[in-house]
Amino acid sequence: MVEWTKPPDKWVKINTDGSALCNPGTIGAGGIIRNPNGELILAFSTLLGKGTNNQAEVEAAILGLSWFANLRYNNVILEVDSQVLVDWFKNNTAAP
């Protein structure tokens, strides 16, 4: 069972997902941003053209983080379901 948890106070959570109809094939991305009360701030979805499932996952995360920046929030938790993307972030970000 999967359970969504609220972000801490003064934080927002972005959940994103990418999809491919075949791999490679037609790809799309979507996501949702919620506040610490679990209330919807913004939801998005878009077609991305042709590509792979991993490309769709990356594009979904980029779109979510772009909305985060446009809305001028200071603290964000990005939640994805792609282990490839999680591993990439772990290996390509500097520790504080």
d(CA 8, CA 60): 23
Q: Is residue 4 predicted with pLDDT exceeding 80?
A: yes
59-89 pLDDT, tens digit each? 999 999 998 888 888 899 999 999 888 888 8
**Prediction pTM value:** 0.85
Residue 1 domain flag:
no
Q: Is residue 38 part of a domain?
A: yes
Q: How confident is the model at residue 31 (pLDDT cuts 50, 70, 90)?
A: very high
Task: Quickly state the pLDDT bin for 2 (edges 50, 70, 90).
Answer: confident
- 18: in domain: yes
Amino acid at 38: G
**CATH code (residue 43):** 3.30.420.10
Using an 8 Å Cβ cutoff, are 60 and 31 in contact?
yes
Q: What SS3 state is found at 43?
A: strand
Contact 44, 5 (CB under 8 A): no
Q: Are 44 and 38 in contact (CB under 8 A)?
A: no
